[in-house]
Amino acid sequence: MPRLLVLGGCLLALGAPYPVALREHLARGASAFQSGDLGIAREAYHRALIFLPADPFILEQLYRIALAARRHDLARAYLAQLTEHHGYSSAVHRLWAEFFAAQGDSYAADAHRRAALSGTPADVPLLRALAEMALGRRAWERAAEYLERAYALAPDDGEVRYALALLSLPDQPQRAAALLAELPDQPRFAAAAALRALIGAHGQESPPTFAFRVGLTLIEAGQWRHAERALHLANAQGADLPAARAFLGLAQSLNGREGAPLIEQALQAAPDDSLVQYAAGLYWRWRGDLAQALAALRLAYALDSQNAGLAAEIGETYRRSGDLAEAARWLHNALRLAPQSAALRRALAAFYADENYALNGAGMNFLRESLAILPADPEISANYGYALLYNGQVQLAYAELQRAVALDSQNPRARYYFAVLLEHQGDSQGAIESYRFVYQHGEGALRLRAERALQRLGAPSP
């Protein structure tokens, strides 16, 4: 928008016969694009292009409109025109990288990301994206190189420190400890506290065993790509760990590679190992066979009835099968086994809110209790705020959801339920903005809900 204001000022100074019309087209295009009216936005910017042929700002806006409309043919045409008239620059390479990433061509996107690097802090998002792509290809050393470069440019960037710590931890635990030391206790750094405790307890255990424990902790945090590296190291060092083999098979499967043979090998080697059955249960749930998943997970729980994580996974499996009463019972059982676990408390709070379950009874009581225990937790606050909205207490809900966003404006759950409230109040534009944030930064079911909300409101996904 600053570019647009400068452009308008220059046009007024020129005193040409068309500045007012041009400014109207630009303003109309910006307003329509902001509200999701892509056809109107494209028409307005095309009219502006008549006055300023090949203007880089206008061409970039037309490219972004086409990309939002998933018209990749038009997006490519606008980018080609921009490149033809203005040549390649770091900014243009970034646009090409964005374009190829949207098309799913990760190799071309990476080529443009590398070309866009300029040795400044502006490189950090590019280096993080390059590291993420390298992780997906199991090029772990290359991923570490990119993250080290990002860390050198932005040593205080929490996301960079966290990603580098997760990658370093299996074989460089002290380096990882230093990187994790200054991270705030926020959900987006969910594994930090557990990993610090893991490093602190690391003593006489062998490197393969430590790498295996790191892999399990990363799986609990949903960091499957980093977990695969840790589990690969655990299996590559000659130790006979059937459970490490089973979880490596699970991680490979979730990361897009065939892992079933590793799980079968582990089951044959150690059918009475609770962790092997645990991995098999998660694998079958991922495959969609909930009955077989429940059988494996319940067998694992019978072998290790003090494992809170197992109880939570059984609860999640019942939830996916639609048996919410059993899901609630098992999730409460998990929290009973690990009452100090903030992650399990968040999971149960999210269950009540996301499923609209018992929000005028046991669910609301649990959310109130959780808010008293974790008053500064944005996710607990967001779930409680939604429960207030569900019960018609709109003013209290607004205050609580505002508080959740103030606690962490980057938290997808807080932004999602704030968007739900804004939509309820008729503020469609504000809701769209927050739903878009969740679509871009959220994961799993939350991201899917945000996408459906954007479709319902007639707004394009980012």
pLDDT of residue 211: 92
Query: Distance (Å, rounded) from C-alpha 117 to C-alpha 153?
Result: 12
Most distant CA pair in the chain, distance: 84
Quote the distance between the C-alpha of residue 187 and its chain's center.
Answer: 11
Domain 369-462 has CATH 1.25.40.10: yes
pLDDT of residue 187: 64
Are 135 and 108 in contact by the 8 Å Cβ rule? The answer is no
Q: Comparing 2-113 with 369-462, is the CATH topology the same?
A: yes
pLDDT in tens, 134-192: 998 999 999 999 999 999 999 999 999 999 999 999 989 999 999 998 787 676 787 78
Query: Distance (Å, rounded) from C-alpha 381 to C-alpha 399?
Result: 10
Per-domain boundaries in the chain: 2-113, 369-462
Residues of the chain with pLDDT under 70: 1-18, 185, 187, 203, 238, 461-462
The CATH topology of domain 2-113 is: 1.25.40
How far, in Å, are 174, 402, 412, 415 from residue 371 at the CA level? 35, 15, 18, 18
pLDDT of residue 13: 41
pLDDT of residue 147: 96
pLDDT of residue 239: 72
Query: Distance (Å, rounded) from C-alpha 94 to C-alpha 117?
Result: 9
Residue type for position 362? A
pLDDT of residue 8: 46
pLDDT of residue 128: 95
How far, in Å, are 26, 339, 373, 420 from residue 359 at the CA level? 47, 22, 19, 16
Nearest to 114 by CA among 131, 137, 135: 131
